[in-house]
C-alpha cells in the first residue's frame, strides 16, 4: 500500500506542547511518517524551541498559547486573550502550510491549531497519552475526526465520542524501540544491582531527599552491590552524590541524561514518576518499576497511569504521602532479595507494552489524509 499522499506535498502538521510527555509521542509519529515519505511540520509553543534542532520536521512553527493556572478572573481573561491570539495565528498558519491533516497531542498549546484546522475544514485527530482524557483534549473531542487513546479504558471519555475513539497505544521513539531488544536479567547473589531513579525531564526534589536516606538504611551487603543512576535537579546533584559516597554506593548522578532509554534498559529496577511517556517506555522495554505518581496533578492522571500498570503486575504504585525512607528501604531489600519477583514484574510490564503503537497511529493519520 502506498502511504504517500497522492504525490501531494501537503505535510502532516503535528501540534504538541513543549513538555516531553507531549513531544515524545509526536516525535515518534514524525519518525514513522518520515519512514513513509510523508512530510511533517510541528506547531508548538515557546518551550518547544529546545527541540528545534532534533525534532524530525521540515519546519517548526510557534504560536501564542497559555495554560490556565487557576480560575481567577484575571488569569481566565489573560489565558482567553492569549488563546484567541493563538487561534488567529493558527488560522493564518493553516492557510499558508495547507496541511493534509492536523494531529494534536494534548495540552492547551494544541487548542489553537486544532480549532483552526476545524475552522478550515482540515481533517484532524487528537492523541491522549494518559489513562485520563486531558482537559484540552476534552474540549476538542467533539471537534475532531478521531481520538487516539493509549489505554482501552480512558477516564472522562464521553460515551458520545466512543465511535471515533481508537486505542493505538502511546508511541515511543526509535531509540526506545531499539532498547526493547535487550532482555531483562535479574540480579543474582553477589552481582551488582542496578537501580535507576528519575522524576521526569527535570528530575525530582522528592527523590533527591528520599532515595539517599533509604539507601543509607540498607544492609551493608546490599549497599556494596548497589549501582545507582539518578537524575536530580542541578541544585541537588552535589549533595546527592555526597550522600551516596558516604554510604559507599556506586553512583552516577546528573541533572540530565540524553541516553535515558539506554540507561533504563540497563536497570534491574526503576524508581520514577508515572508520566505517560515513562509508563510507555517502561512497558515497551520491559522493566519493573516502583512508581510514585506526582501528587496534586490535574485529574490525578499519573495515579491512573501507575495504577493500571500496577494492576497488571508490572509495577508497584506507592503514593508519595505513603512513602518513607524506612518503608522504601524495606521494600528495596525485599525486591532485590527476590530475583524471581523482579523477573515476573519485568515480564508483566513487557506484556503491557505497545511497540506497534507508532505504526497504528500512523495508519490512522494516513487514513485521515486520504479522507481529506
Between 337 and 109, the more confident residue is: 337
What pLDDT, in 10s, does the model give residues 52-100? 458 999 999 998 776 666 677 777 777 777 778 888 999 999 999 999 9
Query: Residue 307: its pLDDT value, please?
Result: 96
The whole-number average pLDDT for the span 295-302 is 84
Residue 338 has pLDDT above 90, yes or no: yes
**Average pLDDT over the chain, rounded to an integer:** 91
Please tell me if the domain spanning 12-171+355-371 has the same topology as the one spanning 177-351: yes
Q: Assign 190 a pLDDT band (cuts: 50, 70, 90).
A: confident
- Overall CATH class of domain 177-351: alpha beta
Q: What is the pLDDT of residues 108-132, one digit of tens each?
A: 889 899 999 999 999 999 999 999 9
* Res. 225: pLDDT tops 50: yes
Residue 51 has a pLDDT of 47
Domain positions in the chain: 12-171+355-371, 177-351
Provide the pLDDT for residue 1: 39
What average pLDDT does the segment 232-256 reach? 96
Length of the chain: 372
- Contact criterion met (CB below 8 Å) for 152 and 128: no
What residues contact residue 189 under an 8 Å CB cut-off, 6+ apart?
none
Q: Phi and psi of 250, rounded to 5°?
A: -65, 135
pLDDT of 48 above 70? no
Q: What is the mean pLDDT of residues 247-264?
A: 94
> Given this model, what pLDDT does residue 364 score?
98
Chain segment 160-186, per-residue pLDDT in tens: 999 999 999 999 999 999 999 999 999
Spatial separation of the C-alpha atoms in residues 365 and 268, rounded to whole Å: 36
Q: What does each C-alpha distance from 109 to 106, 128, 222, 289, 346 come to in angstroms?
A: 8, 14, 46, 31, 35
Residue 105: per-residue pLDDT:
96
| Least confident segment among 142-151, 229-238, 274-283, 362-371 | 362-371
Its pTM stands at: 0.90
Give me the residue label for grid cell 496534586: 296
Angle at 144 between CA 126 and CA 38, to 5 degrees: 60
User: Which whole number is the average pLDDT over 263-275?
Assistant: 97
How much is the pLDDT for 50? 56
CATH no., domain 12-171+355-371: 3.40.50.2000
Q: Is 39 helix (H, G, I), strand (E, B) or coil?
A: coil
Amino acid at each position: 500500500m502506498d502511504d504517500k499522499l497522492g504525490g501531494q506535498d501537503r505535510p502532516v502538521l503535528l501540534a504538541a506542547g513543549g513538555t516531553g510527555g507531549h513531544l515524545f509521542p509526536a516525535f515518534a509519529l514524525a519518525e514513522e511518517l518520515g519512514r513513509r515519505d510523508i512530510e511533517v511540520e510541528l506547531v508548538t509553543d515557546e518551550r518547544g524551541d529546545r527541540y528545534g534542532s532534533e525534532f524530525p520536521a521540515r519546519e517548526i512553527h510557534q504560536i501564542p498559547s497559555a495554560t490556565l493556572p487557576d480560575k481567577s478572573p484575571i488569569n481566565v481573561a489573560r489565558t482567553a486573550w492569549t488563546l484567541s491570539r493563538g487561534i488567529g495565528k493558527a488560522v493564518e498558519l493553516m492557510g499558508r502550510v495547507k496541511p493534509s491533516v492536523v494531529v494534536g497531542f494534548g495540552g492547551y498549546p494544541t487548542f489553537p491549531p486544532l480549532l483552526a484546522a476545524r475552522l478550515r475544514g482540515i481533517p484532524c485527530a487528537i492523541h491522549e497519552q494518559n489513562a485520563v482524557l486531558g482537559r484540552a483534549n476534552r474540549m476538542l473531542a467533539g471537534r475532531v475526526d478521531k481520538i487516539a487513546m493509549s489505554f482501552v479504558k480512558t477516564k472522562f471519555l464521553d460515551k458520545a465520542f466512543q465511535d471515533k475513539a481508537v486505542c493505538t497505544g502511546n508511541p515511543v521513539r526509535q531509540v526506545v524501540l531499539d532498547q526493547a531488544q535487550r532482555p531483562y536479567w535479574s540480579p543474582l547473589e553477589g552481582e551488582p544491582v542496578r537501580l535507576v531513579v528519575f522524576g521526569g525531564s527535570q528530575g525530582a526534589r522528592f527523590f533527591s531527599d528520599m532515595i539517599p536516606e533509604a539507601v543509607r538504611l540498607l544492609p551493608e551487603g546490599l549497599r556494596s552491590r548497589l549501582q545507582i543512576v539518578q537524575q536530580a535537579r542541578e541544585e541537588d546533584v552535589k549533595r546527592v552524590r555526597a550522600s551516596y559516597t558516604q554510604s559507599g554506593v556506586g553512583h552516577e548522578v546528573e541533572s540530565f541524561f540524553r541516553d535515558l532509554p539506554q540507561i533504563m534498559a540497563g536497570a534491574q529496577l526503576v524508581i520514577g514518576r508515572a508520566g505517560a511517556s515513562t509508563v510507555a517506555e517502561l512497558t515497551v522495554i520491559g522493566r519493573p518499576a516502583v512508581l510514585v505518581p506526582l501528587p496534586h496533578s490535574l485529574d490525578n492522571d499519573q495515579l491512573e497511569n501507575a495504577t493500571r500498570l500496577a494492576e497488571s503486575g508490572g509495577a508497584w504504585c506507592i503514593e508519595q504521602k505513603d512513602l518513607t525512607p524506612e518503608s522504601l528501604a524495606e521494600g528495596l531489600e525485599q525486591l532485590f532479595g527476590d530475583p524471581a519477583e523482579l523477573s515476573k514484574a519485568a515480564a508483566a510490564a513487557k506484556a503491557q507494552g505497545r511497540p506497534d503503537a507508532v505504526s497504528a497511529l500512523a495508519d490512522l493519520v494516513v487514513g485521515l489524509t486520504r479522507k481529506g
